[in-house]
Amino acid sequence: MSPVANTQSRDVNLTKRVQTPKGMRYCPVILSSNGRIKPDLVVVNGHPERHPEGAYYLEWRDRGKRVRLSVGKDPQDAAARRQRKEAELNAVNNGVGVIPDNGNNGPRSVAKAVADFLEETELTKKPKTLSGYTTALNYFTESCAKLYLQDIDRHDLLKFAAFLRDQKNQAPRSCWNKFAAVISFLKSNGIRGLAQNFAASTVRVSHKANRGWTPKAYKEREIPIPAKLVKKLKEWKVKSDKTCDLVFPTAGCNPNLDFLDCLKACAERAKLNTEDFWLHKFRATFATRCLWAGVDLRTVQQWLGHSDMESTMRYLKPSRSAKVRDKVNQIFA
């Protein structure tokens, strides 16, 4: 049997990321007749080659999307990890609950994962990039008290963002660069989705790592939206470009930054004074109308992301609507 024939597993593939004339590539490993990995041997363009550099990766499909997970440099440990991951996926496919594999016969330490990631980065990236990753991950381990990768959650990322801003006095752009570096590190270890969320009938104001955006004062929150808007968004999603995750993108799937100009143009067409219209006015109107409608002050404060009640109370303006007059009439009826 040829070496290539032994490179595929039924559900999970094992590859090694190595340097080739065409750059870094994920190449299939070569197995011996007894099923063990031949150390440092991979298949490049259909031919076996020896590559001592690089790390091993597991590859599998999750809902049609390819997932890669770094499993270190030890070939036999990588093979054992592949078998455990394959057993895990088969169990899940058959409706059996399992505890996912998180490391080398047990929890994988954050420190070891960082060391492996930086070692591979040194082989594959420029010194300036390595320096950036090193600083970001040093800051992350300084802010995160977790010992094992499996314990890292969304809260640790929020703490890290606040740590960069408050303890390290990083500029917004620097915060984003270091945050993105940590996200890349986590993804390389199979940890995904911590910086993304969506709940039905709500808008989730959260970090957008791929856009370099963070909420005001780093306060994530959920804001309920009306059912008719949910319906419109679902209709839009069916017709939208599936390769772009923005509701109002530019032609190149970048955030549209001319909302203020559009608002002014709408006001002008309506023959209104354009000086009376600005984007923040929508936020103020939303807050005031919610308070008028009886939503309690604390809830509106949470929706707006205010740190103190006084900031929210600015929107608690007197109402002179017909409904208020009706209430007055009912009081004295």
In a domain, residue 13? The reply is yes
In a domain, residue 105? The reply is no
Winning range, highest mean pLDDT, from 65-79, 143-157, 240-254, 276-290: 276-290
Residues above pLDDT 70, as percent of the chain: 85
Average pLDDT in the 30-57 region?
Answer: 87
Residue 217 has pLDDT above 70, yes or no: no
Average pLDDT in the 196-218 region?
Answer: 64
73 in the same domain as 20:
yes
**What is the reported pLDDT for 4?**
41
151 in the same domain as 174:
yes
Q: Which of 58, 93, 128 is the last residue of a domain?
A: 93
146 in the same domain as 80:
no
161 in the same domain as 122:
yes
179 in the same domain as 230:
no
Q: Which of 59, 93, 127 is the last residue of a domain?
A: 93
Residue 315 has pLDDT above 80, yes or no: yes
Residue 7 has pLDDT above 50, yes or no: no
Residues above pLDDT 90, as percent of the chain: 12
Q: Which two tokens stand for residue 103?
A: 């490391």
Average pLDDT in the 268-272 region?
Answer: 93
**What is the reported pLDDT for 198?**
39
**What is the reported pLDDT for 106?**
57
In a domain, residue 228? The reply is yes
pLDDT tier, 103 (very low <50, low <70, confident <90, very high otherwise): very low
* pLDDT tens digit sequence for 133-160: 999 998 998 888 777 888 888 888 888 8
Contact, 3 vs 14, CB < 8 A?
no
Q: Give CA–CA dist 147/102, Å, rounded.
A: 13
CA 36 to chain centre: 36
Rg (CA), the chain: 26
pLDDT tier, 2 (very low <50, low <70, confident <90, very high otherwise): very low
> What is the sign of the dihedral through the CA atoms of 285, 291, 294 and 300?
positive
In a domain, residue 101? The reply is no
pLDDT tier, 112 (very low <50, low <70, confident <90, very high otherwise): confident
CATH number of the domain where residue 39 is located: 3.30.160
264 in the same domain as 230:
no
Residue 5 has pLDDT above 60, yes or no: no
Contact, 53 vs 27, CB < 8 A?
no
Average pLDDT in the 204-228 region?
Answer: 72
Our count of domains for the chain comes to 4
Domain that holds residue 282: 259-331
> What is the sign of the dihedral through the CA atoms of 109, 115, 121 and 124?
negative
Residue 123 has pLDDT above 60, yes or no: yes
223 in the same domain as 184:
no
Residue 161 has pLDDT above 80, yes or no: yes
Q: Give CA–CA dist 246/149, Å, rounded.
A: 31
Q: Which of 93, 118, 146 is the last residue of a domain?
A: 93
The better pLDDT of the pair 90, 50 is held by 50
22 in the same domain as 83:
yes
215 in the same domain as 286:
no
Residue 200 has pLDDT above 70, yes or no: no
Nearest-CA neighbor of 103 among 72, 138, 146, 75? 72
**What is the reported pLDDT for 270?**
93
175 in the same domain as 142:
yes
In a domain, residue 125? The reply is yes
pLDDT tier, 28 (very low <50, low <70, confident <90, very high otherwise): very high
In a domain, residue 197? The reply is no
Secondary structure, 3-state, the chain: CCCHHHCCCCCCEEEEEEEECCEEEEEEEEECCCCCEEEEEEEECCEEEECCCCCEEEEEEECCEEEEEECCCCHHHHHHHHHHHHHHHHHHHCCCCCCCCCCCCCCCEHHHHHHHHHHHHHHHCCHHHHHHHHHHHHHHHHHCCCCEHHHCCHHHHHHHHHHHHHCCCCCHHHHHHHHHHHHHHHHHCCCCCCCCCCCCCEEEECCEHHHCECCHHHCCEEEECCHHHHHHHHHHHHHCCCCCCCCCECCCCCECCCHHHHHHHHHHHCCCCHHHCCCHHHHHHHHHHHHHCCCCHHHHHHHHCCCCHHHHHCCCCCCCCHHHHHHHHHHCC
**What is the reported pLDDT for 64?**
76
Q: Give CA–CA dist 41/121, Å, rounded.
A: 21
Q: Give CA–CA dist 131/207, Å, rounded.
A: 24
Q: How far is CA 31 from CA 35, 46, 125, 229, in A?
A: 5, 14, 29, 55
Looking at every residue in the chain, the average pLDDT score rounds to: 80
In a domain, residue 122? The reply is yes
**What is the reported pLDDT for 9?**
36
85 in the same domain as 119:
no
**What is the reported pLDDT for 242?**
67
In a domain, residue 253? The reply is no
**What is the reported pLDDT for 140?**
92
**What is the reported pLDDT for 95?**
61
74 in the same domain as 25:
yes
